């Protein structure tokens, strides 16, 4: 099958024994990743020492960069160094995927050093610790639904889910979906499994495709008003974000204070840490729900969408705005909008990062170079009075039509 790559996440409802097994597999993944990193670091140190002795490059100790090389080293080492792996009957698929994850991280670092990877510089892989979260991965369809409310996980057994998976199981049954991997993750004491699937979305996309006479729109993103949507029909809509992190600040402050007062290593500290994690998880869910609902509605009802190319990383460097920018989720909004528009037949056009959408007069085209961030309305020399956000949304729409 050569369809669309998509994710399908469902929450698990494991028993006490299954929770222990899930934790053991998460620990196994962490151990294997650290084993691979130690192996690579030892080889790199050995090469440095050999170079100092004048050993030619072609005779230097090879570094196990690839996943097969790392997996081979793990298979050779675990009977003596980690006998509990076989004794506890843990799944052999987890170390395989942990080796792949380390190999991918090493490749990203090497490509970033050579300038062959886009985006910000990637550092050398670091040690995995418990505080980094509990997760592990299965390859292919080793983990898969065994029913509408049950998932079969190798090394753990059938685990009940908290949600119905008929949408996925029906498509698995008639061949419209193929599972290509699964990741199990713990968040705030709750366990989730995310299936990476290859799906034929033709039937879903055709039913929900945007109509040919749907309006085009320009979207101005901001902190005061999350999105101002200006249609080519003349209507303007303001969408306000829930600001979940801001609303949770009081609860988060109390939970962090309680955590700081607990003795390290105590059971009460574990409970307090889980309370903090639960607050963060609820914030993430509220933000994600808002973004998914908005982007789905836009992708299904607008035939063309103009957005800004925001420098989110630069905005986060402003300490006065960083929390509000993180709470908004601008980058995630644009990411979701782009892939959903490809599903439903709409298109997304991004303006140049330096396009002055807020400073340009939508009436005469003059640019107000003196406009500051605190100026919510401004008057042009031609006599037009503009609301900053509404004007920017209309200008983005005009720029998209001009570029087309």
> pTM higher than 0.85 for the full model?
yes
Do 281 and 162 share a domain, yes or no? no
pLDDT of residue 71: 95
Query: Would 265 be classed as within a structural domain?
Result: no
The predicted structure's pLDDT at residue 1: 55
187, containing H or E segment: strand 177-187
In a domain, 268, yes or no: no
State the pLDDT at residue 179.
96
Rounded Cα–Cα distance for residues 59 and 328 (Å):
53
Q: Per the domain annotation, does 326 fall within a domain?
A: yes
Question: Is the distance from CB of 137 to CB of 101 less than 8 angstroms?
Answer: yes
Quick check: 217 and 392 in contact, CB under 8 A?
no
Number of domains in the chain: 2
CB 332 within 8 A of CB 326: no
Q: What pLDDT score does 241 carry? A: 93
- What is the full per-residue pLDDT of the chain (404 aa) written as tens digits? 568 899 999 999 999 999 999 999 999 999 999 999 999 999 999 999 988 888 888 888 889 989 999 999 999 999 999 999 999 999 999 999 999 999 999 999 999 998 888 878 899 999 999 888 899 999 989 999 999 999 999 999 999 999 999 999 999 999 899 999 999 999 999 999 999 999 988 888 889 999 989 999 999 999 989 999 999 998 999 999 999 999 999 999 999 999 999 999 899 999 999 999 999 999 999 999 999 999 999 999 999 999 998 888 888 888 888 999 999 999 999 999 999 999 999 999 999 888 888 888 988 888 888 888 888 888 888 888 888 899 999 999 999 988 86
Q: Does any domain span residue 335?
A: yes
Residue 21 and residue 110 in one domain: yes
Residue 257 located in a structural domain: no
**Same-domain status, 170 and 237:** no
- For residues 284 and 192, membership in a common domain is answered with no
> Of 176, 199, 222, which closes a domain?
199
Residues 223, 75, single domain; the answer is: no
SS percent in the chain: helix, strand, coil, step 5 = 50, 20, 35
Q: Residue 29: its pLDDT value, please? A: 97
Residues 378 and 330 in one domain: yes
Active site residue 308: yes
- Look at residue 120 in the predicted model and tell me its pLDDT: 81
* Cα gap 128→133, rounded to integer Å: 9
Could you say which DSSP state residue 161 is in? B
Same domain, 23 and 60: yes
Catalytic residue among 33, 71, 308, 327: 308
Active site residue 389: yes
Q: Are residues 289 and 186 in the same domain?
A: no
Do 371 and 313 share a structural domain? yes
On whether both 298 and 232 belong to a single domain, the answer is yes
* Domain-located, residue 259: no
Find the domain containing 367 and state its range: 210-248+274-403
Return phi, psi of residue 192, to 5°.
-130, 150
Asked if 203 is an active-site residue, the reply is: no
Q: Is residue 171, in this structure, part of any structural domain at all?
A: yes
Q: Which of 33, 186, 231, 389 is catalytic?
A: 389
Tokens of 134: 């509990």
What H or E segment, with its residue span, contains residue 152?
strand 150-153
Residue 16 CB-density burial (10 A; 0-12 exposed, 13-18 middle, 19+ buried): exposed
In-domain check, residue 283: yes
Q: Catalytic pick from 71, 97, 186, 220?
A: 220
Specify the pLDDT at position 2.
Answer: 61
Q: Are residues 42 and 72 in the same domain?
A: yes
**Residue 137 near residue 26 (C-beta atoms within 8 A):** no
Q: Residue 380 has what DSSP assignment?
A: -
Distance set, CA 155 to CA 75, 93, 149, 168 (Å): 18, 9, 19, 23
**73 and 133 co-located in one domain:** yes
Rounded distance between C-alpha atoms, residue 104 and residue 86, angstroms: 26
């Amino acid at each position: 099958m050569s369809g669309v790559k998509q994710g399908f996440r469902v929450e698990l409802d494991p028993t006490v024994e299954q929770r222990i097994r899930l934790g053991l597999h998460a620990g196994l993944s962490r151990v294997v990743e650290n084993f691979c990193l130690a192996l690579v670091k030892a080889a790199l140190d050995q090469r440095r020492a050999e170079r100092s002795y004048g050993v030619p490059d072609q005779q230097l100790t090879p570094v196990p960069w690839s996943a097969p090389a790392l997996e081979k080293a793990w298979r050779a080492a675990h009977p003596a160094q980690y006998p509990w792996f076989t004794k506890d009957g843990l799944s052999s698929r987890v170390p395989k995927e942990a080796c792949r994850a380390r190999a991918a991280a090493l490749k990203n670092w090497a490509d970033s050093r050579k300038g062959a990877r886009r985006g910000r510089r990637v550092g050398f892989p670091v040690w995995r610790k418990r505080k980094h979260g509990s997760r592990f991965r299965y390859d292919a369809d080793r983990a898969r639904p065994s029913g509408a409310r049950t998932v079969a996980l190798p090394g753990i057994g059938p685990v009940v889910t908290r949600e119905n998976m008929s949408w996925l199981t029906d498509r698995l049954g008639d061949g419209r979906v193929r599972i290509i991997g699964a990741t199990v993750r713990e968040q705030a004491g709750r366990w989730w499994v995310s299936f990476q699937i290859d799906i034929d979305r033709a039937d879903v996309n055709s039913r929900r495709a945007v109509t040919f006479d749907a309006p085009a729109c320009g979207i101005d993103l901001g902190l005061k008003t999350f999105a101002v949507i200006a249609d080519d029909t003349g209507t303007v809509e303001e969408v306000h974000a829930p600001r979940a992190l801001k609303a949770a600040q009081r609860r988060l402050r109390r939970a962090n204070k309680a955590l700081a007062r607990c003795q390290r290593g105590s059971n009460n500290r574990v409970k307090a840490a889980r309370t903090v994690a639960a607050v963060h998880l609820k914030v993430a869910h509220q933000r994600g729900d808002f973004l998914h609902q908005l982007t789905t509605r836009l992708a299904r009802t607008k035939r063309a969408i103009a957005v800004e190319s925001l420098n989110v990383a630069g905005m986060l460097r402003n300490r006065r705005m960083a929390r509000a920018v993180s709470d908004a989720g601008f980058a995630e909004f644009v990411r979701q909008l782009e892939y959903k528009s490809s599903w439903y037949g709409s298109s997304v056009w991004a303006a140049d990062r330096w396009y002055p959408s807020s400073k340009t007069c939508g009436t005469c085209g003059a640019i107000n170079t003196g406009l500051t961030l605190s100026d919510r309305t401004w008057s042009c020399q031609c006599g037009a009075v503009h609301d900053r956000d509404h004007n920017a949304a209309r200008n983005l729409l005009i720029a998209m039509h001009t570029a087309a």
